């Protein structure tokens, strides 16, 4: 540090003593173990052999950037089966997709032969980065239904999606009551009630009717799926016609 006038600040006696003590301690030590000091500011300098390995050019990083950019997004595919062991068969089949699969028991409501029908089912959720076409192929082969539901949330929906999944935050007896009403009015094709929520499948023209009838907010997600099931949705949701 320089004082005004350009002269160096005088070193105090105790500072000189401190430096002499440090110099004495440094005798015989390798450079990486030595200490250095300034007046009143003693610090250790450890010059360890830091061998940092880093790319010298941006080109070395390019393969990582390309692989990250090309990684396909994951999707969650939903289907249902009428027995736990059949649902487990789909879980086992999904291992070929390098997928994570879970099952949940639900109560399914749908219109059949002029009335609301109910069946206990097991919903299978399959999370995978495989393309939907491959998931559909694997699930269809393992499924026991002639026309199963195999759907997924569209990551990039079109401007006016035709098919929708709605989730209502109701459970228990209330979920059952709402499910029966929505199916009876033919404004949803099917509804699955769990302990904490109600999931319905419908088409674009019926969405406002579902919200009005349910009397509460519905969390909507546009869906894609197997062609046969989507066609069935369109045929069953006739309440708005």
pLDDT in tens, 55-107: 555 555 565 555 555 667 899 999 999 999 999 999 999 999 999 999 999 99
Mean pLDDT value across the chain: 84
What is the predicted pLDDT for the residue at 18?
66
Residue 157's pLDDT band, with cuts at 50, 70 and 90, is confident
Instruction: Please tell me whether residue 117 adopts helix, strand or coil conformation.
Output: strand
Residue 51 is predicted with a pLDDT of 52
Nearest Cα neighbor of 96 from 130, 123, 125, 70 is 130
Measuring CA to CA, which residue among 79, 82, 116, 105 is closest to residue 196?
105
Q: Is the pLDDT of residue 31 over 80?
A: no
Q: Is the pLDDT of residue 190 over 70?
A: yes
pLDDT for 61: 56
CATH of 72-236, one of 1.10.10.1200, 3.30.70.120, 1.10.1530.10, 3.40.1010.20: 3.30.70.120
* Per-residue pLDDT at 25: 72
pLDDT of residue 124: 98
* Segment among 16-25, 165-174, 227-236 with least mean pLDDT: 16-25
pLDDT computed for residue 135 by the predictor: 98
Which sequence spans correspond to the domains of the chain? Answer: 72-236
Q: Does position 200 have pLDDT exceeding 50, yes or no?
A: yes
Distance set, CA 219 to CA 2, 153, 197 (Å): 70, 12, 11
Report d(CA 36, CA 45) in Å as an integer: 7
* Percentages of the chain per state (helix, strand, coil), in multiples of 5: 35, 30, 35
Percent of the chain with pLDDT over 70: 71
- Per-residue model confidence (pLDDT) at position 86: 98
What residues are paired with 224 via a beta bridge?
152
């Amino acid at each position: 540090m320089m004082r005004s006038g350009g002269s160096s600040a005088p070193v105090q006696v105790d500072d000189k003593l401190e430096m002499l003590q440090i110099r004495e301690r440094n005798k015989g030590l390798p450079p990486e173990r030595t200490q250095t000091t300034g007046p009143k500011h003693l610090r250790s300098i450890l010059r360890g052999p830091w061998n940092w390995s880093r790319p010298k050019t941006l080109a070395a990083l390019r393969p990582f950037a390309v692989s990250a950019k090309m990684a396909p997004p994951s999707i969650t595919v939903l289907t249902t089966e009428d027995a736990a062991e059949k649902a487990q068969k789909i879980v086992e089949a999904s291992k070929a997709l390098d997928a994570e699969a879970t099952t949940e028991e639900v109560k399914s409501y749908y219109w059949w032969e002029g009335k609301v029908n109910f069946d206990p089912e097991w919903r299978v959720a399959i999370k995978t980065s495989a393309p939907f076409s491959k998931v559909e192929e694997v699930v269809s082969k393992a499924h026991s239904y002639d026309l199963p539901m195999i759907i997924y949330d569209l990551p990039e929906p079109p401007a006016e999606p035709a098919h929708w999944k709605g989730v209502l935050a109701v459970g228990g007896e209330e979920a059952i009551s709402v499910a029966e009403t929505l199916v009876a009015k033919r404004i949803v094709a099917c509804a699955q009630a769990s302990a904490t929520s109600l999931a319905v499948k419908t088409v674009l023209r019926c969405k406002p009717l579902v919200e009005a009838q349910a009397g509460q907010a519905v969390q909507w997600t546009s869906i894609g799926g197997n062609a046969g099931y989507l066609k069935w949705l369109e045929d069953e949701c006739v309440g708005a016609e």
